Chains A and B, each alone.
Chain A
Amino acid sequence: MNAPSELAAILTASIASARENGIQLREVLRETARIGTDSMLLVAAGMAFFGAVLIEHGASQARQVVGDISLVGSAWFEILFRDLAPTIAGLLAAVRVGAALSAEAASLQVTGQLDALELCSGDRFSDVVLPKLLGGVLALPCLLIIGTVISIVSSAFCALFFYGADASAFLDPALIDSGDITAFAVKSLGFGLAIPLSAVRCGLKAEGGPGGVGDATTRGVVDSCLCVLLLNVVFGLAFFFLKS
Chain B
Amino acid sequence: MKRGPSAEIFRGIGALGIVALRTARAIPRLDFREVLRSAAAFGSDALTLSLVVGAFVGFILVLFSNLVVVRFGVRSLFGWASGYAVLRELGPLITSLVMCGRIGARNAAELGAMKIGGQLEGLVGVGVDPFAFLVAPRVLASAFAVTALGILSSLTAIISSIGFGQLISGIEPSTFMMSFSARVHPADLAAALVKLSVFGAAISLVSTRTGLAAQGGARAIGSAAARAVVESAAALTCLDWAITFLTVQVLP
Contacts and interface: CB of A to CB of B under 8 A. Distances in A.
Interface of A: 42, 45-46, 49-50, 52-54, 56-57, 59-61, 65, 75, 78-79, 82-84, 87-88, 91-92, 95-96, 98-100, 102-104, 106-107, 110-111, 209-218, 221-222, 225-226, 229-230, 232-233, 236-237, 240
Interface stretch (B13-21, B29-37, B49-57, B133-141): B49-57
* Main SS at interface, chain B: helix
A57 B88 contact: yes
Chain B interface bracket (under 10, 10 to 19, 20 to 34, 35 or more): 35 or more
Contacts of A52: 241
A173 to B, nearest CB: 15
A107 B225 CA distance: 12
Nearest to B222: A103
A221 B101 contact: yes
Given A57-B89, A103-B225, A236-B60, A95 B218 contact: no
A98 B217 CA distance: 21
Nearest to B240: A53
Interface in B212-252: 217-227, 229-230, 233-234, 237-238, 240-241, 244-245, 248, 252
B138 to A, nearest CB: 14
A211 B115 CA distance: 12
B244 A57 contact: yes
Nearest to B228: A99
Nearest to A106: B222
B59 interface: yes
Given A49-B238, A102-B226, 10 more contacts: A82-B67, A103-B219, A107-B222, A211-B221, A214-B105, A214-B109, A218-B109, A218-B225, A222-B101, A226-B56
Contacts of B116: 210
Contacts of A42: 230, 233-234
Interface of B: 49, 52-53, 56-57, 59-60, 63-64, 66-68, 71, 77, 84-85, 88-89, 93-94, 97-98, 100-102, 105-106, 108-110, 112-113, 116-117, 168, 217-227, 229-230, 233-234, 237-238, 240-241, 244-245, 248, 252
B150 to A, nearest CB: 15
Contacts of A215: 106, 109
Contacts of B218: 107, 110-111, 209-210, 212-213
Contacts of A99: 101, 105, 225-227, 229-230
11 contacts: A59-B248, A91-B98, A110-B218, A210-B221, A211-B109, A213-B218, A218-B106, A218-B109, A221-B102, A233-B60, A237-B63
Contact of A217 (B109, B241, B245): B109
A222 B98 contact: yes
A229 B157 CA distance: 13
Contacts of A61: 84
B66 A240 contact: yes
Given A83-B60, A213-B221, A49 B240 contact: yes
A88 B216 CA distance: 34
A229 B233 CA distance: 16
Given A99-B229, A103-B223, A213-B222, A53 B244 contact: yes
Contacts of B60: 83, 87, 229, 232-233, 236
A233 B225 CA distance: 28
B230 A96 contact: yes
A60, A79, A104, A230: residue with the most chain B Cβ atoms closer than 10 Å:
A60
Contacts of B98: 91, 222, 225-226
Contacts of B244: 53, 56-57
